[in-house]
Amino acid sequence: MSVTLKEKGKLDPLKVFIKVTAAFLVSVFSRKNEQKKIALVGGNLGEKYEDNAAIFHTYLHNHHADQVTAYWMYDPKTSYATDGQIPNAVPLGSFRNYLLFFQADYTFHGHSLMYDIAPSVDKFLFLNRKTIITHVSHGIEGFKKILIQKEDVPLLKRTNYFNCASVYEKDLKLNEWKIPAHKLIVTGLPRFDRYAHIKPAKEMKNILMMMTWREWLFDLSEEEFMQSAYFRNTYGLISHSGIRELIQQNGLKMQITLHPFMKKFKKHFVGLADPASGIEFLSSTNPSISQAIVDNDMLLTDITSVSWDFLYLNKPIIFNMFDRDEYLAQRGTYLSLETDLYGYKADTIEEVYAYLKKIVEEGITTNEWFPKATDYIDYFDHQNCQRLAKRVLGV
């Protein structure tokens, strides 16, 4: 994870030191009252209740509350944890957060232990040798090479388990990430359990457009960003007259989710929303991304991890890798963007339009590459959470 991602969330070192020291001493000189196992769960930097970590937290609370108390770590700048009445929610960076970290039998994080479970944990990780730490993958690895920062090294080394969606992903983490084999467990992605049925739409009506982020765009000025291929392609797709006409004439709806890091540039897209013509923008949480995946019949993306969900659900995908050469140079991929994409490959906006037209006019509702799903996903049985809980917690 890029160090830039959570600069805004950095805590005062002195306050952290005081809280951590007090929490550690309390944990040493007092017995925990809890007779059940304690598990801390966090994901999405604590900013929302989504993805694998949240699904697993819900599973533990609903199915194993008699054996495990599962706490959810949330960003105190948000209100979703109290508004949504998420059980056992604890604010990140609080005294209770650090005390629970020292008392915990297990932790499960989706992005980073340091941002999802306990802020600045890299500085005091040596004080906690007993907690079993598990990394619950954000998505199936393949389209983004891992970026390991200096502070990530002790966190990766200390992590006991890395869950994998499949043997394919286990091999990747073994050979590319250099994670020891005994730490790799193939349990499946918890978030796939939320999809009760793999049932494509009867007709193509709803399109989700969702792009991932490029970390090299962080430090650009607004003027520089507006000249980037990322901005120009995103704006060009939404404003394309042919795409908008295709949507309106066929009674379609295109829901657009801008990446959270695009928040400060949202003003440039305001005039493009037109619900009457079928174009609408979604916030990152309302409705949730998970609901948007269920509600939409196909995906237009670059290489966002949500594409794995659409493959799992046998829904059409258009991959628009407009900056392929730059992406490969700046970040790199494990899978080939030429041969391994499990959807239509469109390098330009005009190619996106052509594929959209083909899908709509030919009534395509399934993914032609669905047979490839088993190359990357081992389980379709809705028991991924159960496997993860049994493998790590023994419940």
Label the pairing between strands 132-135 and 68-74: unpaired
Q: What pLDDT was estimated at residue 109?
A: 97
Q: What pLDDT was estimated at residue 286?
A: 56
Mean pLDDT of 129-147: 92
pLDDT per residue over 195-226, tens digit each?
A: 987 778 889 999 999 999 998 998 889 899 99
Q: Answer whether residue 170 shows pLDDT above 90.
A: yes
Q: Answer whether residue 395 shows pLDDT above 70.
A: yes
Copy the structure tokens of residue 124: 């005091």
Q: Answer whether residue 71 shows pLDDT above 70.
A: yes
If one counts every other C-beta atom within 10 angstroms of the C-beta of residue 207, the result is: 25
Copy the structure tokens of residue 290: 């998970």
Which ranges constitute the DSSP H helices of 163-305? 167-175, 222-226, 229-239, 241-249, 289-295
* CA 122 to each of CA 127, 130, 146, 157: distance values in angstroms, whole numbers, following the listed order: 10, 15, 19, 11
* CA 321 to each of CA 19, 219, 239, 338: distance values in angstroms, whole numbers, following the listed order: 46, 22, 18, 10
Of 192, 170, 193, 52, the C-alpha closest to 109 is 52
Q: Which residue has the higher pLDDT, 138 or 209?
A: 209
Instruction: For helices 95-103 and 13-29, give the axis angle rounded to 10 degrees.
Output: 40
Copy the structure tokens of residue 197: 């049925």
Mean pLDDT of 76-95: 92
Question: What CA–CA distance (Å, rounded) separates 173 from 163?
Answer: 10
265-268, long-range: CB within 8 Å, 24+ apart, which pairs? 265/222, 265/225, 265/226, 265/231, 268/226, 268/231, 268/235
Q: What pLDDT was estimated at residue 287?
A: 58
Question: What CA–CA distance (Å, rounded) separates 303 from 143?
Answer: 7
Of 329, 223, 263, 261, the C-alpha closest to 5 is 261
Question: What CA–CA distance (Å, rounded) separates 117 from 98?
Answer: 9
Q: What pLDDT was estimated at residue 271?
A: 83
Instruction: For helices 241-249 and 349-361, give the axis angle rounded to 10 degrees.
Output: 20
Mean pLDDT of 52-66: 97
What phi and psi, each to the nearest 5 degrees, are found at residue 104? -65, 140
Q: Answer whether residue 9 shows pLDDT above 60.
A: no
Residue 44 half-sphere exposure, CB side, CA atoms within 13 Å? 21
Q: What pLDDT was estimated at residue 67?
A: 96
* CA 166 to each of CA 117, 173, 178, 290, 344: distance values in angstroms, whole numbers, following the listed order: 25, 11, 17, 21, 24
Residue 285 confidence class, pLDDT cut points 50, 70, 90: low
- Which class for 140: exposed (0-12), middle (13-18), buried (19 or more C-beta within 10 A)? buried
Question: What CA–CA distance (Å, rounded) separates 288 from 49?
Answer: 9
Mean pLDDT estimate for the chain: 92
